[in-house]
Amino acid sequence: MIPMKELHHLGWFVLTAFIYVICGRPHAEVSPLACLIKAAPILALAYFVWVRGVRVTSRRSYAKYIFVSLLFAALGDTFIQLKDEGYFLHGMAAFAMSQALFVFAFGTTPVDLLVGIPINLAGLGYYVFLFAHPRVANDRPFALALAIYSLVICTMLWRALTRWRMEPTSKGKNSKRTKWLFVGFLGAASFVVSDSSLAWWMVVGSYPNATGIIMGSYYLAQLLISLSILSEEARGSSGRSNRQSSTNGLPIKSRSNGRKLPASRRLSQDSANDTARPFDSYDKSFRMYDRAVIYTK
């Protein structure tokens, strides 16, 4: 379940996705408004990642890649919308950059060839199937772009699965983090479904509800990958209660009547807190000495 403090920042995504649906999914229209309607949900997710990811220190190293990737995806949506004007390959290049940034976000280590080889072999098989079609074989720039993009998106799925699969399984593992890593993997898989469906629609031919399947799985993929930034908070929140138990030098009050504790009990409390927190020995001694001096005057 998404925490409420995170949920309200997704409101713009819900609103813009709803507008996209009620506008009849303006795929064929070539206009600035149509480009904006298509890219708006991705820009809304970029806003969510910026507010709840990039600006949060514990999430920044991961979220910054997701944020820039979403900007490239929005640019790619704009180019794809203008495909009849000759910008389709520009859109593929923008999405390839987006997928590459996802790869860096998910990480390049450990390698995990047990996962990587089957995924890339499956991607290669699908590409060979599409290449056998005259639409691809007779268009060398498109065939080359499709080969590069297939490699990048398969690598993205590989890294997303490895990131979740290689999460430590020791007794003290944070299960909340694992769940959000799995959400990121589901987003990557949904992206593969979307782009594979789009490739089939473009090369082989249309099929029932093609636009709904392509765009629905695409927006779902971006949403799930964006939500995966919450895995960083789950990892960084461990031990927060211990850190918050410190009062930064303020008097510690008893829970029963709110009175100040005696100096001897305060020193015992400080010692217990210091044992629970990984400060260095010099810092412990200094704080205990400082407070002892104050309460003996």
Same domain, 159 and 212: yes
Residue showing tokens 């298509």: 38
Q: Where are the alpha helices (DSSP H) in 4-139?
A: 4-7, 11-22, 32-49, 60-81, 88-106, 113-131, 134-137
Same domain, 33 and 179: yes
Counting the structural domains of the chain, the total is 2
Whether residue 178 is predicted with pLDDT greater than 80 in this model: the reply is: yes
Lowest mean pLDDT among 22-26, 209-213, 289-293: 289-293
Q: Residue 267: which domain range?
A: 240-296
Q: Over the stretch 185-233, which tens digit does the pLDDT of each residue have?
A: 999 999 999 999 999 999 999 899 998 999 999 999 999 999 999 987 5
Whether residue 238 is predicted with pLDDT greater than 90 in this model: the reply is: no
> Which residue, of 236, 262, 279, is where some domain finishes?
236
Same domain, 8 and 61: yes
pLDDT for the residue numbered 29: 73
Same domain, 167 and 286: no
Instruction: Pick 83 or 25 by higher pLDDT.
Output: 83
Instruction: Give the long-range contacts of residues 130-138, CB within 8 A, separation 24 or more.
Output: 130/199, 130/200, 130/203, 130/204, 133/203, 133/204, 135/202, 135/203, 136/203
Residue showing tokens 């009175």: 259
Apex 117 CA angle, 111 and 118, nearest 5:
130
Same domain, 273 and 150: no
> Which residue, of 236, 260, 280, is where some domain finishes?
236
pLDDT for the residue numbered 243: 41
| Spatial separation of the C-alpha atoms in residues 133 and 117, rounded to whole Å | 25
> Which residue, of 192, 209, 236, is where some domain finishes?
236
pLDDT for the residue numbered 174: 58
pLDDT average, residue stretch 47-63: 91
Same domain, 265 and 119: no
Same domain, 176 and 244: no
Lowest mean pLDDT among 10-14, 25-29, 179-183: 25-29
Same domain, 134 and 114: yes
Same domain, 261 and 182: no
Nearest CA to 158 out of 89, 105, 106, 101 is that of 106
pTM, 2 dp: 0.76
What count of Cα atoms within 13 Å lies in the side-chain half-sphere of residue 171?
Answer: 0
Same domain, 119 and 72: yes
Q: What DSSP line would sit under 169-220, residue for residue?
A: -STT--HHHHHHHHHHHHHHHHHHHHHHHHHHHHHT---TTHHHHHHHHHHH
What count of Cα atoms within 13 Å lies in the side-chain half-sphere of residue 209?
Answer: 4
**Token couple for 129:** 């199937």
Cα maximum dimension of the chain: 91
Same domain, 244 and 287: yes
| Spatial separation of the C-alpha atoms in residues 275 and 269, rounded to whole Å | 10
Same domain, 247 and 114: no
Nearest CA to 142 out of 128, 152, 153, 131 is that of 131
Nearest CA to 44 out of 21, 13, 65 is that of 13
pLDDT for the residue numbered 157: 98
pLDDT for the residue numbered 265: 52
Instruction: Pick 231 or 277 by higher pLDDT.
Output: 231
pLDDT for the residue numbered 31: 84
pLDDT for the residue numbered 107: 94
